[in-house]
Structure 1
Amino acid sequence: MVTKKIIAHLQQDPIMEKVIQTTPPLPEISGGEVYPYLVRSITSQQLSVKAAATIHGRFLDLFEEKYPHPEILSELDTEVLRSVGLSYQKAAYVKNVAQYFLENQDESWDKLTDGEIIQKLTTIKGVGKWTVEMVLMFALKRPDVFPIDDLGIRQAMIELYDVQLEKKALYQKLEEIAAPWGPYRTIACRYLWHWKG
């Protein structure tokens, strides 16, 4: 929930204050389970919103209750997954996610730090740091995630803060700019995405 306290904290940064003032209120995040969120992230990667929704819908139609239970997904033939529009690579990746969750059913995400979750989930082939950061932000509703590898976040910050650096120096500067937003960097990033459009 975006509270007045969080907004007041973020508005201590004058540029973020302007972003917040010119951006409609952020919608609430409903949160959810890590496993289906990861599967959806993979099925939707590098697709338009419309194409992603279509393919993910077809994917879910493969399962009773429209839920890709790990034990069923891990056993599905790759060609069946391909028939709903997944590439060979994405088919392999969603099966990797299913296998991981079959082997790690008792994982208690609430007891782990953001860093520990990133470390665990990026061991799954096909799941990168950015994907896990999105899980942290939107499935687990963690408040202080800064996905510096997100192109939209970088572009918004470069434009708003007039950053004229590249590579390592750019990343260091963006981290420096975002540091005061803590412990609410997730909310700050959501404002940046909405501002960027």
Structure 2
Amino acid sequence: VVHHIIGQQISTTAQATIWRRMNEALDEITVETICGTDINKLRRFGMTFKKAEYIKDFADRVQSGELNIEELNNKSDEEVIAELSALKGIGRWTAEMIMTFCIQRPDVMSYGDLAIHRGLRMLYHHRNV
């Protein structure tokens, strides 16, 4: 989830750089290490204040038990989207990416994904998809 929050609206290269810096500094990226890291330190890895705030909020909710990541596996797609979207900094697109890549639900189609729209336009030679 942290990886997906970092990657919002930035290039994959920038995302990889921030992720590498976090791994090097924290040794292991876990709920505990994030909860024990101050927002300003998270920002020094290259992310915005808002993203650092979103990541801290996510980790705090998991650590407190307010959000049970394992329980998401037992919920419907719409329930997962609703629960994740209730978190700061996570909208439908990020929730769908988390479902696809973290929860391993390959049947999730992110209709709002710009890369998918671009690919469909190229494939079908249409301007509007």
TM-score (norm 2): 0.85
Aligned counterparts, 1:105-184, within 5 A: 105=68, 107-165=70-128
* Alignment coverage as a number of residue pairs: 127
Deviation at 1:106, TM superposition (A): 6.5
Question: Relative contact order (alpha carbons < 8 A, sep ≥ 6): 1 or 2 greater?
Answer: 1
Task: Tell me how far apart the structure 2 counterparts of residues 95 and 144 of structure 1 sit (CA, whole Å).
Answer: 30
Q: 1:106 to 1:83 in 2, by over 3 A?
A: closer
Q: 1:132 to 1:106 in 2, by over 3 A?
A: closer
Is 1:94 the counterpart of 2:94? The answer is no
Q: Which runs of 5+ in 1 are unaligned?
A: 1-37, 171-197
AA of the residue aligned to 1:154: H
Task: Tell me how far apart the structure 1 counterparts of residues 127 and 48 of structure 2 sit (CA, whole Å).
Answer: 38
* 8 Å Cα contact 1:122-1:132 kept in structure 2: yes
Q: 1:140-184, CA deviations, whole angstroms, 9 ceiling, x for partnerless residues?
A: 22132110110011122233234454xxxx5xxxxxxxxxxxxxx
Larger radius of gyration: 1
Task: Tell me how far apart the structure 2 counterparts of residues 58 and 105 of structure 1 sit (CA, whole Å).
Answer: 27
Q: Which runs of 5+ in 2 are unaligned?
A: none
Percent identity reads 33
Runs of 4+ in 1 over 3 A off after TM superposition: 162-165
Deviation at 1:46, TM superposition (A): 2.5
Task: Tell me how far apart the structure 2 counterparts of residues 47 and 125 of structure 1 sit (CA, whole Å).
Answer: 18
Task: Tell me how far apart the structure 1 counterparts of residues 117 and 47 of structure 2 sit (CA, whole Å).
Answer: 29
Is 1:81 the counterpart of 2:4? The answer is no
For the residue of structure 1 that corresponds to 2:118, the secondary structure is helix
Q: What RMSD, in angstroms, separates the aligned Cα atoms of the two structures?
A: 2.0
Q: 1:58 to 1:93 in 2, by over 3 A?
A: same
